[in-house]
Amino acid sequence: MSVSRKQPPAPVVQGPAPTRTSVDVVIVGAGFAGLSAAERLVSRGCSVLVLEGRDRVGGRSLTGEVAGIPVDFGATWVARRHTAVRELADRVGCETIPQYAAGRQVAIMGGRRYTYKHTIPTPSPIALLDIARMQLAMESLMRTVDVDAAWTSKDAARLDSMSFGEWLERKRPHRSTRALMTLVSKVQWGCLPAEVSLLHVLRYTKAAGGLDHMLDVEGGQQQDRLRETTQEITMRLAERLGDRVVVGAPVRSITQHDTGVTVATDSLEVEARYAIVTAAPEHRADIAFSPALPARAEGLNRTWRMGALSKAFAAYETPFWREGGLSGEALTDTGPVFITFDVSPEAGPGILMVFCDPTVFDGFTVAERRDRVIPQLVDLYGERARRPLDYADHCWGTDEFAPGGPNAAVGPYATTAYGSALLEPHGRIHWAGTEAAGEWAGSMNGAVLTGWRAAEAVHGRLVETTDRVVEASMR
Ligand SMILES: Cc1cc2nc3c(=O)[nH]c(=O)nc-3n(C[C@H](O)[C@H](O)[C@H](O)COP(=O)(O)OP(=O)(O)OC[C@H]3O[C@@H](n4cnc5c(N)ncnc54)[C@H](O)[C@@H]3O)c2cc1C
C-alpha cells in the first residue's frame, strides 16, 4: 500500500476531469480534515468528492527530502494523546518513532551559550523562577477559557482586548522569559507575541494540553514523529479514496440552491447535497459564496490570518552532536534559526531540523538562506556543523497556493468578534479544519477530529432528509 514519495498516489485524478458530476457531499481541501471527513462519509455509504487546490494532498503536511531521506517540511510530531491521528496512521500502516531526546539541549540566549536538560532553558535560578511565575499566571487564566467556544468564556472580552505581548510586558518578565515566550509564539502561531491575542494563546495552549504538554518532548506534543512522514498518512488515505480525490482543482465558487450546492473549479462543476469546507479561514476568502457568507463568517476569514514559519534541514555523515552528549535540540534568540531538533533516521545520516524566522529568511535565495542557517548551526554545535552533506528548506509563508502556517495568528478582538463563525454552518455548507477544533486545535489531531465531526453532522442531515422524502412518498 506504500506510495512512492516521488509520485502522486496513483488513483488520484489529475488533469482533465469530467466537467459535471454529482455526489452527496463535496469536500474542499485534501488535508487531514478533508480526507478524514471523506473517509468517514464513505464508510457511512455516502458518495463524496474531495477537491484540492494544490497538486498534492496533505495540506500543511508535506514530505521533503535531504540527503535522500524523506523529511517533514510541515507537520512532524504526534503526542501520545493525539489518539485520532495515531489511529489513522495505524490504519494506513504508518508507524510512529520517538523523537530523539537523549542528552543535553543547547541554548544561545542573551549572547551566552550554555547547555541544559529538560524542556525550558534555565540560565539562572531567577530566570527559572520567573518562567514558573509566568506559567502559573497563564494556567490560572486558562482555567477560565472554554476551548470549544473561547468567545463565550467568562473573561473573554478582556482577554481578547490585548495581545499576548502586551500581557507579558505588564507582568514585567525576566529577559529570558520574554525570549522564551517569543520563541513559543513564533513556532506555534508563526508570529510575534505582539501579533496574537492573549485569548487565542490561552485557548490554543489549553487545547494543546497546557504549556508543559505543548512544549515537552517526552510525554508531550513532540513525543513521536512518523517513520514515514506525516504526509504519507494522507497519501495512503487518498489512495484508499481513489478517484474521489481530485488534486489541482482550486474551488472558485460555491452556490447554494433549494436542494443542494454547486461547487465550481476551473474545469469541474459538482452538484452535491452538502459541502464541507476545510480550507483555513483566510483561504476561504478566495471562494465566491452565493448567497454571500454572513458578516461574521466574512469577518472570520478577514481577521484569522495565517502566521508564517519556515523550516530548514541540514544532513551530516553522522549525528555527531550525540557524541558530545547533545540531543540536537537547541533554542537561540538570534536569527533566523531559533529552534533545532534531531530528526535523523534510525540508520544513515544525522539530520537537524531547523525552525527559521520567515521575516529574516524567506526573502533570500535558497543559497543565501543556507548561508544564514549553517553559521548558526556552527555556533550551536561546533565546527563539524560547517559542511553538511545536503541542505533543504521550505518557506510556508511564500507557498503559491494557500500560503501560511503552522496556524492562524489571530490578533486581538478577532476571537470574540468572529470565533463563533468557526462552527456555524452556512446553509448547506459545513466547516472543518484544525482552526475549528476545540481540544487539539492547531494540530493534525484537531484537524482529523473536525473532519469526523463535520462528516457526522452532514451525514445526520442527509439521513434526516432521506427519511423525510421516504415518509412523504408513503403518505
Ligand atoms: C511548519 C509546520 C509545522 C507543523 N508542525 C506540526 C506538528 O508537529 N504536529 C501537528 O500536529 N501539527 C503541526 N502543524 C500543523 C498541522 O500541519 C495542521 O494543523 C494540519 O495539517 C491542518 O490540517 P487541515 O486539514 O485542517 O488544514 P490544511 O492542511 O491546511 O488543509 C486544507 C487544504 O485546503 C486546501 N484549499 C485551500 N483553499 C482551497 C480551495 N479554494 N479549493 C481547494 N482546496 C483548497 C489547501 O491547499 C489545503 O490542502 C504544523 C504545520 C506547519 C506548517
- In CATH, what number is assigned to the domain containing residue 438? 3.50.50.60
**Residues 223-247: tens digit of each pLDDT:** 999 999 999 999 999 999 999 999 9
Which residue, of 360, 379, 398, is where some domain finishes? 398
Tell me: do 289 and 370 sit in the same domain: no
Confidence of residue 1 (pLDDT cuts 50, 70, 90): very low
Q: State the DSSP H helix or E strand holding residue 264, giving kind and residue range, or none if neither.
A: strand 261-264
Check if 313 has its Cβ closer than 6 Å to any atom of ligand 1.
no
- Give the pLDDT score at 16: 54
- Give the pLDDT score at 121: 83
Rounded mean pLDDT of 54-65?
Answer: 98
**Residues 318-377: tens digit of each pLDDT:** 999 999 999 999 999 988 999 999 999 999 999 999 999 999 999 999 999 999 999 999
**Residue 222 falls within a domain, yes or no?**
no
**Residue 316 falls within a domain, yes or no?**
yes
**Residue 221 falls within a domain, yes or no?**
no
Tell me how far apart the alpha carbons of residues 247 and 249 are, in angstroms, rounded to a whole number: 5
Confidence of residue 124 (pLDDT cuts 50, 70, 90): confident
Q: Which residue has the cell 454572513?
A: 294
**Residue 436 falls within a domain, yes or no?**
yes
**How close is the Cα of 104 to the center of ligand 1, in Å?**
32
Check if 17 has its Cβ closer than 6 Å to any atom of ligand 1.
no
Check if 283 has its Cβ closer than 6 Å to any atom of ligand 1.
yes
Distances (CA, A) of 392 to 55, 336, 343, 389, 400: 20, 15, 13, 11, 18
**How close is the Cα of 398 to the center of ligand 1, in Å?**
14
Tell me: do 390 and 468 sit in the same domain: no
26 is in an annotated binding site: no
**How close is the Cα of 307 to the center of ligand 1, in Å?**
12
Check if 60 has its Cβ closer than 6 Å to any atom of ligand 1.
yes
Tell me: do 383 and 326 sit in the same domain: yes
Tell me: do 162 and 202 sit in the same domain: yes
**Closest protein CA for atom 11 of ligand 1:** 443
* 412, three cell numbers: 486581538
**Residues 326-342: tens digit of each pLDDT:** 999 999 998 899 999 99
**How close is the Cα of 405 to the center of ligand 1, in Å?**
7
* 366, three cell numbers: 535558497
Type of residue numbered 198: L
Check if 451 has its Cβ closer than 6 Å to any atom of ligand 1.
no
**Residue 445 falls within a domain, yes or no?**
yes
- In CATH, what number is assigned to the domain containing residue 165? 1.10.405.10
Pairing of strands 77-78, 224-226: antiparallel
Confidence of residue 125 (pLDDT cuts 50, 70, 90): confident
Torsion of CA 67, 340, 406, 98, to 10 degrees: 80
- Give the pLDDT score at 473: 63
* 26, three cell numbers: 463535496
- Give the pLDDT score at 329: 97
- Domain interval for residue 257: 20-59+229-293+426-474
- In CATH, what number is assigned to the domain containing residue 356? 3.90.660.10
Looking at the DSSP assignment, which residues form a beta bridge with residue 109? 112
- For 454, other C-beta atoms within 10 Å of its C-beta total 30
251 is in an annotated binding site: yes
**How close is the Cα of 60 to the center of ligand 1, in Å?**
3
Check if 77 has its Cβ closer than 6 Å to any atom of ligand 1.
yes
Tell me how far apart the alpha carbons of residues 342 and 354 are, in angstroms, rounded to a whole number: 9
Rounded mean pLDDT of 3-32?
Answer: 68
**Residue 246 falls within a domain, yes or no?**
yes
Distances (CA, A) of 36 to 41, 43, 55, 433, 444: 9, 11, 19, 10, 11
Tell me: do 328 and 252 sit in the same domain: no
Check if 405 has its Cβ closer than 6 Å to any atom of ligand 1.
yes
**Residues 265-276: tens digit of each pLDDT:** 999 999 999 999
Average pLDDT, the chain: 94
Confidence of residue 4 (pLDDT cuts 50, 70, 90): very low
Rounded mean pLDDT of 152-181?
Answer: 96
Tell me: do 179 and 245 sit in the same domain: no
In 291-349, at which residue ranges do the beta strands (DSSP E only) sit? Answer: 310-316, 326-332, 337-342
- Give the pLDDT score at 474: 65
- Give the pLDDT score at 119: 80
- Give the pLDDT score at 470: 61
Tell me: do 377 and 324 sit in the same domain: yes
**Residues 284-310: tens digit of each pLDDT:** 999 999 999 999 999 999 999 999 999
Q: Which atom of ligand 1 is nearest to the CA of 446?
A: 19
Find the helix packing angle between 83-91 and 444-474, rounded to 10°. Answer: 80
Pairing of strands 326-332, 429-431: unpaired
Tell me: do 201 and 236 sit in the same domain: no
Distances (CA, A) of 100 to 217, 310, 321, 352: 9, 21, 12, 11
* 377, three cell numbers: 548551526
Query: Total structural domains in the chain?
Result: 3
Tell me: do 131 and 210 sit in the same domain: yes
Confidence of residue 475 (pLDDT cuts 50, 70, 90): low
pLDDT > 60? residue 18 = no
pLDDT > 50? residue 6 = no
Residues 6+ apart with CB under 8 A from 318: 349, 350
Tell me how far apart the alpha carbons of residues 287 and 265 are, in angstroms, rounded to a whole number: 10
- CA 56, chain centre distance (Å): 16
Quickly list H helices, 208-340. 211-215, 230-241, 281-284, 295-303
pLDDT > 90? residue 396 = yes
* Mutation test residue for ligand 1: of 231, 286, 444, the one with most atoms within 8 Å of CB: 444
* Mutation test residue for ligand 1: of 35, 49, 55, 60, the one with most atoms within 8 Å of CB: 60
- Give the pLDDT score at 123: 74
**Residue 369 falls within a domain, yes or no?**
yes
Tell me: do 327 and 393 sit in the same domain: yes
Tell me how far apart the alpha carbons of residues 255 and 291 are, in angstroms, rounded to a whole number: 7
**Residues 198-221: tens digit of each pLDDT:** 999 999 999 999 999 999 999 999
87 is in an annotated binding site: no
Residues 6+ apart with CB under 8 A from 155: 141, 144
Which residue, of 398, 418, 434, is where some domain finishes? 398
**How close is the Cα of 340 to the center of ligand 1, in Å?**
22
**How close is the Cα of 31 to the center of ligand 1, in Å?**
6
Tell me: do 209 and 233 sit in the same domain: no
Tell me: do 315 and 387 sit in the same domain: yes
Q: State the DSSP H helix or E strand holding residue 108, giving kind and residue range, or none if neither.
A: strand 104-109
- Give the pLDDT score at 120: 81
* 35, three cell numbers: 480526507
**Residue 404 falls within a domain, yes or no?**
no
**How close is the Cα of 459 to the center of ligand 1, in Å?**
24
Confidence of residue 468 (pLDDT cuts 50, 70, 90): low
